[in-house]
Structure 1
Amino acid sequence: MGKTAFVFPGQGAQYVGMGKDITDNFKAAKLTYEEASDVLGLDMKKLCFDGPEEELLKTENTQPAILTTSVAILKVLEELGIECQMTAGLSLGEYGSLVKSDVFAFGDAVKLVKNRGKYMQEAVPQGVGIMAAILGLEKQPLQECINSCRQYGIVEAANYNSPGQIVISGEVEAVKMAVKKAVELGAKKAVVLPVSAPFHCSLLKPAGERLKADLESLEIHSPKVPIVTNAEAKILNCKTQVIPSLVDQVSRSVLWQDSIELMIKNGMDTFIEVGPGKTLAAFIKRIAKNFDVKVNLYSIEDMKSLKDLIPNY
């Protein structure tokens, strides 16, 4: 067996019913939902298992809901003795990594991400900013596309997810012009995403500042498991880096492809996606293929996927 990495999904992975199956079978998962409910004064089980979807889709609910589901599944993996040698999370998912590494307590993290969602939502008035996914265009031509559309307003690369899968973010007109231009430059597909704010661009700097004040009131520890950060795609190895990294992360590009390549270089050959959805596994598959290495991939979100994983540990 090589080395295992745990990766945690970000916003967009949520769905009504997430986590229910595992919670019905494991007390550790049930206790995680109960803790989140107590801390937030919100029935987290009801929100995740029953919805309604429009409540789950509100950013300030989505973020704690995904984190709670991911940590509930993480607790089950830990109980079964399945461990990791490195960890990372996509945007919001980085908080799952921080909980895994004991950088801060789950109760603090879930409160933090509820506020983070609220700050991100409030940083930009509704209708001012959007995001779009650009498929099949490499970094260089995409950067040229962004540069040429800056005359229309703010537009920046928000997520470098995997080869040929980059998300842009910014003001409506500039992003829409970039979508049009990306297609002209040969993108296979360019689509505006159904998100409520332009995440991971400079418009969100005020949200980062508000988050900083919350982070400064928390007890923060040095990571017990190495974490690869979104903002720099580097290993976070001391507690003084935690706050600047999380503040930057709100308004800077998510360097997911670089993060996974770094993990592969560090010998990770098994990636376990801990939480709802299978998006990260799809990204990692593409990144590994591009890197010409073979990796084992698992997405753990229910009893079936958990049972498929267990024989390998």
Structure 2
Amino acid sequence: MKIGFIYAGQGSQVVGMGKSFYDHYETARNIMDAIQIDFDLKDLCFNGPIDVLSQTQYTQPCMVACAIMATELLKENGIEPAMSAGLSLGEYSALYSAGVMDAKTAIDLVRFRGQAMEEAAKGIESKMVAVLGLDRDTLQKCVEEASAYGVVQIANYNCPGQLVIGGEAKAVDKASELALENKARRALPLNTSGPFHTSLLEKASVALANKFKEVTFQEMCLPVIFNSTARPLEENSTIAQMLTKQVKSSVYFEDSIRYMLSQGVDTFIEIGPGKVLSGFIRKIDKTIKCYQVEDHESLEKTLKELKGEE
């Protein structure tokens, strides 16, 4: 068995996330109680309200804190990944799992990232839309044609038949219209607060580049598959460069999973609320085993099944 950890991104947050870890495990309590940040992260995770929890600047540190708890609980029980990846925000949790940064650094960075993303999106009439049932090449042609109306790009390559476009609202609407004319099954607007993973986030990218000058990243103890390349870190690149690029570049999640499969990963553990990433993986390859860890019950179930298989 070769295990890959995959970390959920923004949009998966729910009120109450992390609470059952905190209630059942001392390790989780120690992690959560040690977090020093400029808002009550524990209270927001456990009690909401959801409208505040869903604001980018708050979502990001809350999601990463819960991911760190789950990662440490898995490792405490002898479950470690051969490699890891995350969807967008989840990439920071993946880097934590690889020993690149400690909990404080990870949470501080995503707090800054969330604020920078919100600031960069201010004043932009933007939109993101999930396009279902259309291939990449056809959607790319729709996007190119719609770019006459403004900035629009394919922001996420999630799985076969599910792509996300983002950018300026008029251009995204035009690309969505063209996609439907080209036999897309549906074009579903997403509840997001900005044109994430498009060139409109350039200001956030610059802010992160400056922030990373203050950070020392440690050597990775396992490969992390990066969103923007769907590959491990290359010799001529740095982690800071990859994270700076990531915020304004497409997320190649499907390609990342296919790469991990090509390297022998045969079992995935999705870490974070919900089963969105597991759903993507099943559309990529139905034969792959996927487990999910979001609370005490799912952790215990996953440990039991994995240890039974071993």
TM-score, shorter chain, exceeding 0.5: yes
What CA distance in whole angstroms lies between the structure 2 residues aligned with 1:98 and 1:35?
A: 20
Amino acid at match of 1:15: V
TM-superposition CA deviations, 1:63-87 (whole Å, max 9, x none): 1111111111111111111111000
Moved over 4 A (4+): 237-240
Quote the residue 1:80 is aligned against. 77
What CA distance in whole angstroms lies between the structure 2 residues aligned with 1:15 and 1:239?
A: 39
| 8 Å contact from structure 2 (residues 128, 189) kept in 1 | yes
Structure 2 gaps of 5+ residues are: none
Shift of the 239–86 alpha-carbon distance from structure 1 to 2, 3 Å rule, reads farther
1:230 to 208, 212, 227: 227
Quote the residue 2:292 is aligned against. 299
Q: Give the C-alpha shift of residue 240 in structure 1.
A: 5.2
What CA distance in whole angstroms lies between the structure 2 residues aligned with 1:201 and 1:3?
A: 33
Quote the residue 2:29 is aligned against. 30
1:310 to 280, 299, 303: 303
What does residue range 43-82 of structure 1 map to in structure 2 within 5 Å? 43-82=40-79
What does residue range 74-113 of structure 1 map to in structure 2 within 5 Å? 74-113=71-110
Quote the residue 1:42 is aligned against. 39
Q: Which moved more, 1:74-83 or 1:230-239?
A: 230-239
| 8 Å contact from structure 2 (residues 121, 193) kept in 1 | no
Aligned-residue Cα RMSD (Å) equals: 1.3
Q: Say if 2:8 is the partner of 1:13.
A: no
Normalised by the size of structure 1, how large is the TM-score?
Answer: 0.95
Amino acid at match of 1:249: Q
- What is the SS of the residue equivalent to 2:229? coil
Shift of the 239–222 alpha-carbon distance from structure 1 to 2, 3 Å rule, reads farther
Amino acid at match of 2:201: L
Structure 1 gaps of 5+ residues are: none
Q: Which moved more, 1:165-174 or 1:302-311?
A: 302-311
TM-superposition CA deviations, 1:120-145 (whole Å, max 9, x none): 11112245111110011010110011
What CA distance in whole angstroms lies between the structure 2 residues aligned with 1:239 and 1:280?
A: 30
Q: Give the C-alpha shift of residue 299 in structure 1.
A: 1.0
Normalised by the size of structure 2, how large is the TM-score?
Answer: 0.96
- What is the SS of the residue equivalent to 2:194? coil
Shift of the 286–76 alpha-carbon distance from structure 1 to 2, 3 Å rule, reads same
Pairs aligned (count): 306
- What is the SS of the residue equivalent to 1:298? strand
Shift of the 113–241 alpha-carbon distance from structure 1 to 2, 3 Å rule, reads same
- What is the SS of the residue equivalent to 1:268? coil
Quote the residue 1:267 is aligned against. 264
Q: Which moved more, 1:26-35 or 1:164-173?
A: 26-35
